[in-house]
């Protein structure tokens, strides 16, 4: 008989640091958002910080996480109050007095009457009443036990403030348990004093943990880690005391002397607190909080709530990244998981990985002046992303070609020809198969037999059957993109779409049409030759004037360098020419457009037209003066006018460039 044995495997969350099996973070969304901000005039460093603040489509940003931390802090303050320990002590005292009164009522001796008088004249103050009953000879066993619970509760609460779980662990503690606590505190104070004197405590720490490690479930690895944890708890205990009203503080100070029936415990804790404060003076020992809720807390719970509140405040500051030298590595992911959950910690980890990857993988670089900018690698990825968006727009239009395939070969002529050695054109499959079938049938003596043979064994293609599509080679193009950078482009929200268009066209030409030569010119009060990197990082200018005249002069200089190339001129503008270049090199601006400005601009357009250039104007906005000017110019030189909306500007320019080829 075969016995089936089942092997069970247990799986749990990986806790050894970053998940080694996690996929790398996707930088495309971050890079696209940062690129848009940079093109809008934001510095790359600030654009990165803004993305981290906003977060991505599937990752909450720093602002959202900070909001969660602040809301959690407010909830703790509103839902809790600090009366829990006082209420519990008062209830125990009332229960003890009631039980003692019942017992005294049954006793008929004179001492019972005296005891009734003592019980009846107890002060209203809980602390004073507890102190007066310290030497009282209880007749009721129940009353004696209730009163003993008060001192035990105070001791357990005091320890629970500084050592997690002590309140529950020491419930019903024996004298031996209390002695063990006292020995631990004495050894701990010796260790802390040695550390504060600057002594090497490595060996002393190991001996201490071997003896008392059960009290420290956090398992600190050295004295510094032990002090860090204890100091935070001790500071929270002090904040708890600071948060009490003056009456409550006096009450607690008096009650604490009754902890475990002896002031020795509080003296040891006070010595420990002093040593921890000396070791970590930077903690908020003098802070306090205002609680206003209905949920009462004991001393230990109050200190724990204050630790949570303090940790949430630290997290909010870390998440703000507003302090000097702030880095994403500052985020305490363990604290985030404790306070806001594992998902919040995962979001923060993803943001930190994005920040690190963007900086380490070469997406940013500094120019000779030390300013941070997008690197060529970032520009390529950003251009590829924008071009994909534009390609999707083009492919959705009837009759348009996909930008990722158009232009790889020459234009189809519609004809085919027999394949020759060295041809790289694609086969015309229909003509090739037709040739093979006709050849097979014509070469067989019996046509029916040939058809039967093909049906059973297929068609055999020979080299003479192959025909390829005929294409017409396209010439090299010299492309000039002139973009308007006057202030109206900024005011009307056309700044970023203009830059995205330039970036997409540059990426298309540099990756798909490498034989073409693209040159970028930006023109405002005067024109400037620029690169795609410079244009991407160009900040908005408070510059009036549309100097198309100067831009056209620079365009001609580029076109003359490639006399055998097909000249293509693309002009993106939202205003009619209002400036021109004087003979002395100074720009002249006048609005409404001066006749001399119009005349000089038309002259340069005529020059470019005589060079055989294909000129297309992309008219943005509804300026009637611009519409009249470019409509007349288009008729004069045979150019084209396109009036795209902002979302379609990139597709219009890229599509026109492909059409011109």
DSSP letter for each residue of 309-351: HHHHHHHHHHHHT-STT--GGG--HHHHHHHH-HHHHHHHHHH
Domains (ranges, CATH) in the chain?
A: 28-80+313-363 (no CATH), 83-290 (no CATH), 411-472 (no CATH), 477-660 (3.40.50.410)
- Pick from 118, 126, 62: which is nearest to 94 by CA? 126
Cβ neighbours of residue 170 closer than 8 Å, sequence gap 6 or more: 152, 155, 156, 159, 177, 181
Strands 477-484 and 411-418: what pairing? unpaired
Q: How confident is the model at residue 438 (pLDDT cuts 50, 70, 90)?
A: confident
- Pick from 659, 559, 549, 656: which is nearest to 613 by CA? 559
Q: What is the pLDDT of residue 198?
A: 92
String of DSSP letters for 138-188: -S-HHHHHHHHHHHHHHHHHHHHHHSTTHHHHTTT--HHHHHHHHHHHHHH
Q: What is the pLDDT of residue 24?
A: 62
Torsion of CA 555, 630, 617, 538, to 10 degrees: 70
- Can the peptide bond before residue 549 be classed as cis, meaning omega within 30 degrees of 0? no
Least confident of 188-197, 259-268, 432-441: 259-268
C-beta separation of 374 from 364 below 8 A:
yes
Q: What is the pLDDT of residue 73?
A: 87
What span, in angstroms and rounded, lies between the C-alpha atoms of 352 and 494?
A: 33
What is the mean pLDDT of the segment spanning 465-473?
A: 74
Beta-carbon count within 10 A of 103 CB? 17
Q: How confident is the model at residue 13 (pLDDT cuts 50, 70, 90)?
A: low
- Pick from 623, 509, 647: which is nearest to 573 by CA? 623
What span, in angstroms and rounded, lies between the C-alpha atoms of 80 and 365?
A: 51
What span, in angstroms and rounded, lies between the C-alpha atoms of 559 and 617?
A: 18
C-beta separation of 270 from 128 below 8 A:
no
Least confident of 13-22, 271-280, 373-382: 13-22
What span, in angstroms and rounded, lies between the C-alpha atoms of 104 and 115?
A: 8
| Chain mean position to CA 188 | 43
407: left (phi over 0), alpha (psi -120 to 50) or beta: left
* CA geometry: angle 650, 653, 657, nearest 5 deg: 135
What span, in angstroms and rounded, lies between the C-alpha atoms of 410 and 423?
A: 13
Q: How confident is the model at residue 523 (pLDDT cuts 50, 70, 90)?
A: very high
Residue 419: both structure tokens together:
């394949």
Tell me if the pTM is above 0.75.
Answer: no
Mean pLDDT (the chain) is 83
Q: How confident is the model at residue 607 (pLDDT cuts 50, 70, 90)?
A: very high
C-beta separation of 238 from 285 below 8 A:
yes
């Amino acid at each position: 008989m075969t016995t089936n044995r089942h092997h069970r495997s247990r799986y749990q969350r990986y806790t050894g640091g970053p998940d080694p099996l996690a996929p790398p973070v996707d930088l495309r969304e971050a890079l696209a958002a940062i690129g848009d901000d940079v093109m809008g005039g934001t510095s790359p460093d600030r654009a990165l910080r803004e993305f981290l603040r906003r977060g991505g489509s599937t990752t909450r940003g720093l602002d959202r996480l900070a909001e969660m931390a602040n809301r959690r802090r407010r909830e703790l303050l509103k839902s809790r109050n600090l009366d829990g320990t006082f209420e519990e002590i008062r209830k125990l005292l009332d229960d003890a007095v009631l039980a003692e009164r019942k017992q005294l009522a049954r006793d008929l001796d004179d001492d019972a009457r005296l005891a009734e008088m003592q019980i009846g004249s107890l002060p209203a103050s809980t602390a004073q009443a507890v102190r007066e009953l310290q030497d009282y000879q209880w007749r009721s066993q129940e009353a004696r036990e209730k009163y003993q619970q008060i001192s035990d509760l105070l001791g357990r609460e005091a320890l629970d403030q500084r050592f997690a779980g002590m309140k529950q662990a020491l419930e019903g503690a024996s004298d031996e348990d209390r002695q063990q606590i006292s020995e631990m505190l004495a050894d701990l104070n010796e260790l802390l004093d040695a550390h504060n004197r600057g002594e090497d405590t490595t060996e002393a720490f190991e001996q201490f943990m071997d003896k008392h490690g059960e009290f420290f479930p956090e398992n600190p690895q050295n004295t510094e880690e032990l002090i860090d944890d204890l100091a935070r708890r001790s500071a929270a205990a002090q904040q708890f005391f600071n948060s009490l009203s003056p009456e409550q503080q006096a009450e607690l100070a008096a009650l604490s002397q009754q902890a475990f029936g002896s002031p020795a415990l509080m003296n040891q804790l006070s010595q420990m607190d002093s040593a921890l404060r000396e070791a970590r003076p930077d903690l908020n020992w003098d802070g306090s909080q205002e609680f206003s809720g209905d949920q009462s807390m004991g001393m230990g719970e109050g200190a724990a709530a204050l630790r949570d509140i303090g940790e949430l405040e630290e997290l909010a500051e870390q998440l703000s990244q507003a302090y000097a030298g702030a880095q994403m590595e500052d985020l305490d992911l363990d604290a985030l998981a404790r306070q806001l959950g594992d998902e919040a910690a995962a979001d923060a980890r993803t943001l930190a990985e994005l920040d690190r990857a963007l900086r380490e993988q070469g997406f940013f670089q500094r120019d000779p002046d030390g300013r941070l900018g997008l690197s060529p690698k970032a520009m390529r990825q950003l251009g590829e992303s924008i071009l994909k968006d534009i390609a999707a727009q083009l492919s959705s239009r009837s009759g348009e070609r996909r930008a990722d395939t158009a232009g790889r070969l020459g234009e189809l002529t519609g004809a085919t020809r027999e394949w020759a050695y060295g041809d790289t054109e694609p086969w015309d499959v229909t003509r090739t198969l037709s040739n093979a079938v006709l050849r097979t049938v014509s070469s067989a003596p019996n046509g029916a037999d040939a058809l039967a043979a093909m049906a059973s064994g297929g068609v055999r293609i020979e080299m003479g059957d192959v025909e390829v599509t005929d294409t017409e080679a396209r010439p090299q193009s010299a492309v000039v993109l002139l973009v308007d950078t006057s202030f109206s482009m900024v005011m009307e929200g056309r700044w970023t779409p203009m830059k995205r268009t330039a970036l997409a066209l540059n990426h298309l030409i540099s990756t798909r049409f490498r034989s073409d030569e693209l040159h970028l010119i930006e023109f405002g009060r005067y024109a400037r030759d620029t690169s795609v990197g410079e244009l991407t990082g160009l900040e908005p200018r408070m510059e009036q004037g549309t100097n198309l005249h100067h831009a056209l002069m620079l365009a001609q200089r580029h076109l003359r360098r490639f006399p055998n190339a097909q000249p293509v001129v693309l002009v993106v503008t939202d205003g009619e020419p209002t400036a021109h270049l004087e003979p002395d090199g100074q720009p002249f601006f006048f609005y409404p457009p001066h006749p001399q400005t119009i005349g000089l601009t038309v002259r340069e357009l005529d020059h470019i037209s005589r060079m055989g250039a294909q000129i297309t104007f992309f008219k943005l906005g509804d300026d009637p003066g611009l519409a009249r000017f470019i409509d007349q110019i288009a008729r004069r030189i045979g150019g084209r006018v396109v009036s795209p909306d902002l979302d379609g500007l990139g597709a219009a320019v890229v599509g026109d460039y492909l059409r011109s080829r």
